A = this chain, B = another copy of it.
Amino acid sequence: MLFNGVISSNAMKSWTVEAASMPDGSQVELAGWVWDVREVGKIRFIILKDREGVIQLTVKKGDVPQSVWEAAAGLVKEDVILVKGVVKASRIAKSGVEVIPSELRILNKSKPLPIDIWGNVAQTELDARLRYRIVDLKRPESLVIFKASSAAARAIRESLYDRGFIEVFTPKIISTSTEGGADLFPVQYFDVVAYLAQSPQLYKEELTASLERVFEIGPAYRAEKHSTTYHLNEFISVDLEAAFMNYRDVMSILEDVIINVYSRILQVPGVVDMNKEISVPKKPFAVVSYDDALEMLGKKGINVRWGDDIPKEGLEALTGEVGSPFFLVNFPTSLRAFYTMPVEGDPSRSESFDLVIDGVEIVSGATRIHDRKLLENALISRGLNPANFESHLAAYEWGMPPHAGWGLGFYRLLMVMLRRSNIREVVLFPRDRNRLTP
C-alpha cells in the first residue's frame, strides 16, 4: 500500500514483561519468537520470547478461533509470530500470567539454528558462538550483556554532561601516529597512506584550549598482534580531557562515573545472575602509589623492578590486598607517554594513575604537560622527533591551559562488571588478528 497521507503512530506492541504485569482480562498485542512449543492433548503451549522475557500462550482447541489452533500446529522454535489476545492470571505459567490468543500470525519461518541457544552455553565453543553471533545474541544471557552495554554508555555520558563536559567527535582517519608508539593500521586514503587513530589523545588535549571539558566515546585501533582474552584490535574508548584540572580532579570525576555505571547496570534485569558479587563501589576508592605497590608485591614474592610495568598477576595480588576498585598512582615518568606531567620536584615520577577493577587495568590517566618546552624535552627523551609533532606543539603557544584526562576501555569495564572471562563476550562483532567476520 502506498503511503496514506498520515504518519502512523500505532501503539507499538507490548513487551512480554509488560504483559506479565497487566490486569486479568487486558487486551494485548505481542510479537517475538517461539522459544518452545509443547502439546498436551487438546492444548498447545507456546512460549513466546522477546528481548525482555518470555510469556506463555495457551492455545486450547475450541477456546480459540480455529485459525489460531491451526497456526499453532506448525510452529517451530524461532518462528517469528504476532499475537493478539487476552491476558489471564495463571497458576501454572512461570510469569503468573498466560495469554489466550484471538489472532496468531506467522511473520517469518525459521530453519534449525546452527548453534544451541537453549541449552548450556558451555556446550558451545566461543568460537562457534562468535561465528554465528547473530544467532548467539538470541541467548538470554547475550541480551543481558548488550542491554548492560547500552546502560553503561548512557550512564557514562549522563555523569559527564552533569559535570559540564561536551561530547565531541574526532576523526578516526589520521595522517600520522598520535603517540609515536604502537602499531597502526594503514588506510589507502585516495592517493596517500593514512592511518586509523589509536586514540583521540592529541585532539582532545588541543580541544581543552577552547571547549575546556570534552569527552568522546568512539572506536580506537591498535595493530598489535596480541592474542589474549582482554585485548582487541578495534575497541571502544571513552576519552575525557579537562582544562584547569589535575589528575586528582579527573580521578574524582572518574569515581563518580564508575559508581553511576555500576548503579545503572545493576538495574538491568539479569546482571546480578551473571555476577553474583556485583555491588556499587563506594567512595573514596583506595589509592596505592607505584612505589608502595612494588613493596607490597615484594613481600608476596612478586618482584617488579622499579621502572617496569606491574604484570597482571601483580594487579591481582594488589586487589587481594586493597580491594577493588583501586587507583595506582605516580608511575615512573619513563613508563608513561610523552605528554604525562612529571611530579614537581620529583621528575622521575609522574602525576599519573591507572584504575584497576578486579585485577584488570580499566582506565589510564594523568595530568598532562601544558608547556611547549617541557613537551619538546619529553619527546626528545623518548627518542621522538619534535619536528614530527610541530602542528600539535604549535597549539601550546596559543593559550594552552593546564589540563588532565583519562582513557577508559569500555569493553574491559563491561567484562569485569559482568564477570566474563573473555572480552569477546561483551563485543557484538569482535575484531582480532584472526577475526574479521562476521
Contacts and interface: CB of A to CB of B under 8 A. Distances in A.
Interface of A: 1-3, 5-10, 12-13, 15, 31, 33, 50-51, 78-80, 82, 107-108, 110-111, 113-114, 134-135, 137-138, 142-143, 146-147, 149-150, 153-154, 157, 161, 163-164, 166-175, 185-190, 192, 194, 196, 203, 206-207, 209-213, 218-219, 221, 223, 225, 233-234, 236, 243-245, 248-249, 251-252, 255, 283-285, 287, 289, 327, 329-330, 343-346, 349, 353, 370-371, 391, 395-402, 427-431, 433, 436-438
Contacts of A175: 436-437
Nearest to A184: B188
B168 A12 contact: no
Interface centre among A113, A196, A429 (most CB of B within 10 A): A429
Contacts of A12: 163-164, 244-245, 249
A203 to B, nearest CB: 7
A384 to B, nearest CB: 18
Nearest to A219: B172
Given A80-B402, A185-B187, A187-B187, 11 more contacts: A1-B344, A6-B284, A7-B287, A8-B248, A12-B249, A31-B243, A51-B212, A134-B206, A134-B209, A174-B436, A207-B428
Contacts of A346: 2
Given A134-B207, A346-B2, A399 B249 contact: no
Given A146-B166, A207-B137, A429 B33 contact: no
